[in-house]
Amino acid sequence: MFMFVFSLFIFGSIRLLAKTCPIDTLEGPDEKCYGFFPYGFFHNESEHLCTDFYGGNLASIHNEETNEFIKNNSVFFFDSDDFWIGGKIGENGEGWLWSDKSSFDYRNFYKGRRPSSKSYFGLAFNKNTGKWHGIKNETVLPYVCTI
């Protein structure tokens, strides 16, 4: 009996130490949880939903493995080709920034489609190619949160 109770305690402790993602999210290769939300909003509205309701941000992508993970899973969640990720043009038009303030250390833009003007605000991800491109913030798209 003691061994049975002890085993339950050990396995229960291990479960508490292991990170689990919330329901309806997937664990990515970077051990972060990703939510794929198929309803559309503007870029800034999507970011607010990620922050206010899920405690995260629009997804920031820091390597090819994470980019492929998002691409491969997006086909199961989104009808539209494009969806929002967390990149945006800085307030003064200076370069790309991630909304979670992490380093913009990986890039996967369409060749020749890397806008740098303030009129292009949000960063869209194309589920067919895995490439990114800037489009106007006022475009309604589904989105991916890192939670």
Query: What pLDDT shows up at residue 94?
Result: 74
pTM of the model: 0.83
| Residues in Cβ contact with 14 at an 8 Å cutoff, skipping those fewer than 6 apart | none
Measure the CA–CA gap between 138 and 41, rounded to whole angstroms. Answer: 8
Q: Vertex 97, ends 95 and 103: CA angle to 5°?
A: 115
Each residue's pLDDT, cut to its tens digit, for the chain (147 residues) gives 444 334 434 434 433 445 689 999 999 999 999 999 999 999 999 999 999 999 999 999 999 999 999 999 999 999 999 999 999 988 777 789 999 999 999 999 987 655 555 556 899 999 999 999 999 999 999 999 999
**How far is 4 from 67, CA to CA, in rounded Å?**
44
Three-state SS string across 44-69, please?
HHHHHHHHHHHCCEECCCCCHHHHHH
